[in-house]
Amino acid sequence: MEARDAELKKELDATLHARRDLGEEYESALVDSFLGKVEQRLDGTIDRRMRRHMAEQQMVVARGSRAPNSPVDSWGERFGFGIVSLILAIPLSAIGVVNADLPGLFVTWGGIVGVNAVHSLRGVNFGRDKDRDRKSEWDD
């Protein structure tokens, strides 16, 4: 990236030098020319990123994984997890009551509620910035 920055700096220096040589009457054309080069550079960077992003999505789909922008879990997954935890709650409750009476029942149900709460909060962001860990838009 530094090589491209150096190249862009050379272009800017050449544009400023040409402006000094040619005068203010050519300033608009020189600025337009330089901005056109910057725009081409940005277009190239955006094209590369879009191709990379599309290739990553195609790889995810080809592997049969979840799409990158899909939610962490679906309603069916949450519903199924709740049903399984309720079915398992019956024998776990019996084991808790047999071994520790009423406190064992409370501990068992506390665990069941805790596991379900953690599962339901699995996709919640809690104020973390998803974009903070991403590379800058200018990085390539």
**Whole-structure pTM value:** 0.40
The pLDDT assigned to 94 comes to 92
**Angle of helix 2-22 relative to helix 27-62, nearest 10 degrees?**
160
Written as one string, the DSSP assignment of the chain is -HHHHHHHHHHHHHHHHHHHHH-GGGHHHHHHHHHHHHHHHHHHHHHHHHHHHHHHHHHHHHTT---TTS-SS-HHHHHHHHHHHHHHHHHHHHHHHHHHHHHHHHHHHHHHHHHHHHHHTTT--TT--GGGGSPPTT--
Most confidently predicted of 42-46, 67-71, 131-135: 42-46
- The burial of 108, by beta-carbon neighbours within 10 Å (0-12 exposed, 13-18 middle, 19 or more buried), is given as buried
- What are 77-122's pLDDT values in tens digits? 888 888 899 899 999 999 999 999 999 999 999 999 999 888 888 7
- What are 54-75's pLDDT values in tens digits? 898 888 888 876 555 555 557 7
